[in-house]
């Protein structure tokens, strides 16, 4: 997915867990189940960000950060997936935009193996598209 927004703008939105409900398919940030969230919107490696989608709350522990290039996280708690690892890679484009590549791997029960791949792919694609659009809305006027 490519956005005309700069890597700086996209990066700030990714790091600030409170912004995710504005552009993604998550309903809210559950601060009571989150751990070590930064007050300045720059969550650090080790922070657990708990997101509510419907009645489900999932936790994602940040595992790696490379400024304006990479944000990685793993499952901290999720009842339907195990050993979940995801990476969000940002690459600047020649015209000051950003390519966003968001992908992950996980294990699940044999019952969910038929449903989860399609659901998760659609969910992650929706988050990526929402991030790209919202970042463009945040661009400074030229």
- Flag whether pLDDT at 142 surpasses 60: no
- Flag whether pLDDT at 49 surpasses 90: yes
pLDDT at 77: 86
Calpha distance 93→6 (Å, rounded):
9
60-110 pLDDT, tens digit per residue, is: 999 999 999 999 999 998 766 678 889 999 999 999 999 999 988 777 767
Give the helix, strand, coil percentages of the chain, each rounded to 5: 25, 35, 35
Domain residue ranges of the chain, discontinuous segments joined by +: 2-137
Using a cut of 0.85, tell me whether the model's pTM lies above it.
Answer: yes
pLDDT at 141: 56
State the architecture of 2-137 in CATH terms.
2-Layer Sandwich (3.30)
């Amino acid at each position: 997915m490519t956005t005309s927004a700069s890597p700086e703008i996209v990066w700030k939105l990714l790091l600030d867990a409170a912004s995710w409900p504005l552009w993604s398919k998550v309903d809210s940030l559950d601060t009571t189940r989150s751990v070590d969230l930064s007050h300045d919107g720059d969550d650090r490696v080790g922070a657990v960000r708990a997101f509510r989608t419907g009645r489900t709350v999932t936790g994602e522990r940040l595992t790696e950060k490379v400024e304006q290039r990479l944000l990685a996280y793993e499952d901290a708690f999720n009842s339907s997936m195990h050993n979940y690892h995801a990476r969000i890679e940002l690459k600047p484009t020649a015209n000051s935009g950003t390519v966003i590549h968001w992908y992950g791997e996980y294990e699940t029960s044999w019952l969910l193996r038929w449903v989860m791949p399609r659901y998760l792919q659609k969910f992650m694609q929706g988050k990526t598209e929402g991030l790209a659009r919202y970042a463009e809305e945040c661009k400074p006027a030229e």
